[in-house]
Structure 1
Amino acid sequence: MPLIIEKTLKGQRALVTGGSSGIGAAVARALAEAGTRVAINYLSDAEDAQKLVDEIQAGGGEAFAVQADVSREEEVKLMFELAIKRWGSLDILIANAGIQLDSAFTEMTLAQWDKVLAVNLTGQFLCAREAVKEFLRRGLIPELSSAMGKIICMSSVHDIIPWAGHVNYAASKGAVLMFMKSLAQEVAHQRIRVNAISPGAIRTPINRSAWETPEAERELLKLIPYERIGEPMDIGHAAVWLASDASDYVIGTTLYVDGGMTLYPGFREGG
């Protein structure tokens, strides 16, 4: 899908966690195309992160890569310090980093439970906390944005759709839903906008087995009323809109970018 994005975020500065691949990389590309300087966070894949930085810079944008484990407080603080030192401040946080450690419930270990919650939920808390602190320190810059700062929590349709065999993941995303709403309620009066994006089935390497073969794709499409698998840039475009002044009155909202997956397509013929 080609990038067709106006420079709606020109001059703004963003941090995308988990930004070296998949949805995070698409969001970073879309933000850069919209005129944003982008800090691309990664955990271990320095090569892919640098390739994305090079790609953005080759297209006339500005980006740099920064390593951090979002579940570790000191690493998150250092990541924000580096980004703020480089660009003076931040205007947008895309809290995208997340993992799956799948298991039947009776076989799920405490380590699997703790790790998924640590990255998918605590990681969002730590990053959002540092972002809000920076927005309040810096204050409103009307020529850049109507809001003092924007936070987009990357969630999943499994914040409302149960998912057997993935109890830790679904629980973490359900918690992100209420985390986002509660934070939005707390900081909206300070002109900080907090929202979420919940992707459905997106064509990324992490779920390759669900779409790689024609048979697998046919089964997956039964869950998608729009009858196509989402592309990473579908999420990128949504993130640009949510970060822009075009959505300035959108507060505490989850945008489901899922081709209708949350419409429970099984009830189209039955129920």
Structure 2
Amino acid sequence: MKNDKGKVALVTGGTGSLGRAIALKLTERAGRVGIHYFHDRKEALAIKEKIEGWGTEASVFKADLSSPAGAKRLMQMVKEKWGGVDILVNNFGPFLEQPWEKTSAEDWLYLFQSNVLASFELIKAVVPGMKARKWGRIINIGFHRAGQIVAFPNIMPYAAAKTSLLLLTRTAALTLSRYGITVNMVSPGLIEGGWLPRLVDSSSSAPMGKAEDVAEAVNFLASEEASAISGTNLIVAGTWKL
């Protein structure tokens, strides 16, 4: 697909293996790609350099998305740089693995702020511009079990947060469809280099996916060809747990 030089893409959590793959892949959709980071500026700059080497404009943005103020600050910086966002990928989402009875209220608040409320604030910030342009793509990165009401003894706050993000995804999709804006979730399963393989039996016969597999799904949902797809949770998990 052709790169649309006029479009701006923003990827939060852009320095992890998944965020990096998504940012690189979206150079096929946008002429300007924003890479959000909080700690790893060196990696953010390396991704920026790679993207620019392909002839696409890129910029890095530092923000702490564990607070509403951080999310608002991120959008302020992006708007000052490029005026708005056409493709928003909410990939930032910290993970916590520990027995549920050892989690604290602070753990719950941190995971919900980072996984749900940051996305909520960013979506609210980009929607006015998308409405004005009558076009927008919002893709939230979920969890392959999001929406399933089953027990998660060691990742309960994270699973609950991603299920809430799915509800946000579908609600936003329903209310924004009239403006040419699609809102979807892409939910990874077993990904090489990710956190999930630590939680599963090493004898599992299901092959692990790659970050690039998820990036392909995101890239498709950001396309014109996906204009009729909204409110969907696209699970990229192969046959694991079927």
- TM-score w.r.t. length of structure 2: 0.91
Letter in 2 for 1:244: S
| Larger strand share, 1 or 2 | 2
**For this pair of structures, how many residues does the alignment match?**
240
Separation (CA, whole Å) in 1 of partners of 2:124 and 2:90: 11
User: Which sections of structure 1, spanning at least 5 residues, go unmatched?
Assistant: 1-5, 141-147, 266-271
Q: What residue in structure 1 maps to residue 69 of structure 2?
A: 74
Aligned-partner Cα distance in 2 for 1:255–1:10: 27
1: distance between equivalents of 2:186 and 2:9? 16
Cα deviation code 1:40-90 (max 9, x no counterpart): 001111111111111111222211110112232222222212222222321
- Measured in 2, the distance between the counterparts of 1:207 and 1:20 equals 18
Alignment match of 1:200 (pick from 189, 197, 203): 189
SS at match of 2:69: helix
Offset at 1:158?
2.4
- Work out whether residues 68 and 117 of structure 2, in 8 Å CA contact, stay in contact via their aligned partners in 1: no
Larger Rg: 1
Q: Would the aligned equivalents of 1:70 and 1:126 in 2 still touch at CA under 8 Å?
A: no
Judge conservation of contact 1:9–1:244 (CA < 8 Å) in 2: no
| Cα contact 1:193–1:251 (8 A) shared by 2 | yes
* 1:102 lines up with 2:97 in the alignment: yes
Mapped to 2, the partners of 1:159 and 1:90 lie a distance apart of 26
Report whether the alignment pairs 1:242 with 2:221.
yes
Please show how residues 6-17 of structure 1 align to structure 2 within 5 Å. 6-7=1-2, 9-17=4-12
Matches of 1:120 and 1:180 in 2, distance apart? 12
The 3-state SS of whatever aligns with 2:6 is: coil
Query: What one-letter code is carried by the residue in structure 1 that aligns with 2:145?
Result: H
Please name the residue that 1:63 is paired with: 58
CA distance in 2 between partners of 1:177 and 1:210 (Å): 22
Shift of 1:34: 3.9
Find the aligned partners of 2:160 and 2:30 in 1 and give their Cα distance: 35
User: Which residue of the partner structure matches residue 135 of structure 1?
Assistant: 130
- Aligned residues with identical type, % of pairs: 28
CA distance in 1, matches of 2:3, 2:194: 29
Task: For residues 201-257 of structure 1, give each alpha carbon's deviation from its aligned partner in whole angstroms, at most 9, with x where no partner exists.
Answer: 11125456469xxxx6x42x33x3xxx211001011111100001111001111111
User: Displacement, 1:192?
Assistant: 1.2
Structure 1 residues 185 and 205, CA, compared in 2 at 3 Å: closer, same or farther? Answer: closer
Instruction: Find the counterpart in structure 2 of residue 231 from structure 1.
Output: 210
Structure 2 letter corresponding to 1:201:
L
The RMSD of aligned alpha carbons is: 1.9
- 2:23 aligned with 1:44: no
